[in-house]
Amino acid sequence: MITCRSALVDGTFRRDVAIEVTDGVVTKISSAEQPTSPPDVDGVVVPGFVNTHSHLFHRALRGGAHGEDFWNWRTTMYQVAERLDPDRYHELALGVFGEMLDAGYTSVGEFHYLHHRPDRSRYPHHEMELAVAEAARQAGIRLTLLDTCYLHGGFGQPLEAGQTRFGDGSVEAWLQRWHELADALPVDPRVRLGAALHSVRAVAPDELHHAIAGLPADVPVHVHVSEQPAENRACQEATGLTPTTVLERAGVLSARTTVVHATHLSDEDLAMIAHTGTTVSLCPTTEADLADGIPRTADLVAAGVPLAIGSDENVVTDPFAELRMIESGVRLSSGRRGVVSNERLWGSGAQVHSVLPELAAVDPQRPGLRVGDPADMVAISPDSARLAGVDPLRWPLTASEADVTATIVAGQRVPSHSPATLRSALHTLFKEDS
């Protein structure tokens, strides 16, 4: 039993709430008959934030890698990837996951494609994947490891030099490694294997279909789509179709699928995403940092598309910053306020369906703790100057990660993490440059 002064349940904040937890899952939510003083958790309790799209090693680029556009930044990213081995990757992941937990993220979907050694040979025992999984277990975060199929450097092009570490050579080889990895991962309810298809430029249409057909039906599938106008143009030239149409015809879009960014969609693209029940993961701090553009959020909302958030390149680690920028982007692009309701923002922040698709998508009108969901929660202090006089329902527009006072995963409070771990990992990664 976990008691708290206030909690978000069914779209409203209730006083004196008791949350029963069995085997890491919420089994009952009720009013505390005799409120404890003090409660088990101080502050206002909300569902844990779900980081549906992360590239943890991009954290090493924070504040740097400036250039003209996304494509310049990508070159620097490849250089960082070359430096990573299992030990460095584990140390970095431990620090990055700790930073996420302290910010209020209780789950992360790690879009992972650092599969092979720098010399392109295969690790014999999934060392890179196991390094991430072990770091998640040590840090205490719930992990969906989105092992990524990445085969081409562009439409009809081989992988570039900086990308060859990411590729398995064929869909068959990726599927074989994926199934072997499923057997190799530790048995832990907080660690799950998912799948990712990097993009339509990295996996050809026939390969997309083959990859989906080779995966179990309950596996979450994530894919980058229409992040850049150049990607759309290249796809049109190569296939005569938009990236979303390519995915739809290959059978990729479905209720278990999350498309990431979806920044430059046509009307037809948007309708296909809505019709198939596909979730869209918005990563607005990254999309702003990389000058990707502003997505058609108002149209996604109007179409009833489930929305989620991701930290992507981890330019900041703050779920409130992502949520605030979703609504800010709509205001800037449409000249209207309140298009994305506060309830929907809370729900988007906790869209666990994206990484655990067997759970129902969050009702955008009734976000909050739910029976049957993992007992992943965050406590937020109402005492900061930022939140003075602000209705808790509006906190996505005003709060920050600094207001998070407790993070609970599977019913257990996670200790705060020292930033020294992350500083040490980054120093190790770049020490030959010092």
For the packed helices 171-184 and 127-139, what is the interaxial angle rounded to 10 degrees? 40
Alpha-carbon gap, residue 132 to 154, rounded angstroms: 27
How far is 7 from 99, CA to CA, in rounded Å? 24
Contact 343, 314 (CB under 8 A): no
Say whether 406 sits in a helix, a strand or coil. strand
User: Distance (Å, rounded) from C-alpha 425 to C-alpha 377?
Assistant: 28
Q: How far apart are CA 109 and CA 145, in angstroms?
A: 6
Question: What are the tokens at 29?
Answer: 């939510």
Q: Which of 112, 152, 261, 264 is catalytic?
A: 261
| Residue among 289, 312, 318, 373 flagged as catalytic | 312
| Pair 109, 132: CB distance under 8 Å | no
To the query of whether residue 261 is one of the catalytic residues in this protein, the response is yes
Cβ–Cβ < 8 Å for 212, 276: no
Q: How many helices (H) and strands (E) does the chain have?
A: 13, 15
Distance CA 356, CA 47 (A): 15
Which helix H or strand E contains 19, and what residues bound it?
Answer: strand 12-22
Tell me how far CA of residue 24 lies from CA of 249, 358, 410, in angstroms: 39, 16, 4
Alpha-carbon dihedral sign for residues 377, 379, 385, 390? positive
Catalogue the active-site residues. Answer: 261, 312
